[in-house]
């Protein structure tokens, strides 16, 4: 696997209503971000987007076929390099909930889905 600087166009490889070039531009302007590539296939895009109040939000787009343990190591290292307090969300009762807890996040509250058809979320915090 190779770690590359994030490019907003990388998001179009994900089948998600939020995964657009314009959203990628907005994310890239708000903090550090990277793309993880396995054999020339993008498997993860992620980073930290700081809101206007300076709060960092961890974000990721990940292909469901990605090897979890390999990706986990890259994300864990990214979080070690950026030890600031962070907020993240995950679909309620989804795999992301367990992953965020493994990464040291604690569940804080519930949040309605971001767009029509988006599942309700749990908010997680670290630090």
pTM of the model: 0.89
DSSP class of residue 99? Answer: H
DSSP class of residue 10? Answer: G
3 state SS of 110? strand
Read off the pLDDT of residues 20-59 as tens digits, 9 standing for 90 and up. 999 999 999 999 999 999 999 999 999 999 999 999 999 9
Query: Distance between CA 67 and CA 116 in Å, rounded?
Result: 29
Assign 3-state DSSP to the chain and report helix, strand, coil percentages, each to 5: 30, 35, 35
CATH of residue 74: 3.40.630.30
Q: What is the mean pLDDT of the chain?
A: 92
Structural domain that includes position 120: 85-127
Pair (34, 69) in one structural domain: yes
Pair (18, 31) in one structural domain: yes
């Amino acid at each position: 696997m190779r770690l590359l600087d994030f490019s907003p166009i990388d998001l179009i490889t994900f089948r998600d209503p939020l995964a657009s070039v314009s959203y990628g531009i907005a994310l890239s302007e708000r903090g550090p971000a990277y793309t993880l590539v396995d054999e020339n296939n993008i498997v993860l895009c992620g980073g930290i987007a700081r809101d206007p109040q300076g709060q960092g939000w961890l974000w990721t787009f990940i292909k469901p076929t990605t090897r979890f343990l390999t990706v986990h190591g890259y994300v864990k290292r990214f979080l070690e390099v950026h030890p600031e307090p962070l907020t993240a969300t995950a679909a309620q009762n989804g795999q992301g909930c367990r992953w965020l807890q493994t990464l040291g996040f604690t569940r804080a509250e519930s949040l309605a889905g971001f767009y029509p058809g988006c599942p309700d979320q749990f908010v997680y915090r670290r630090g």
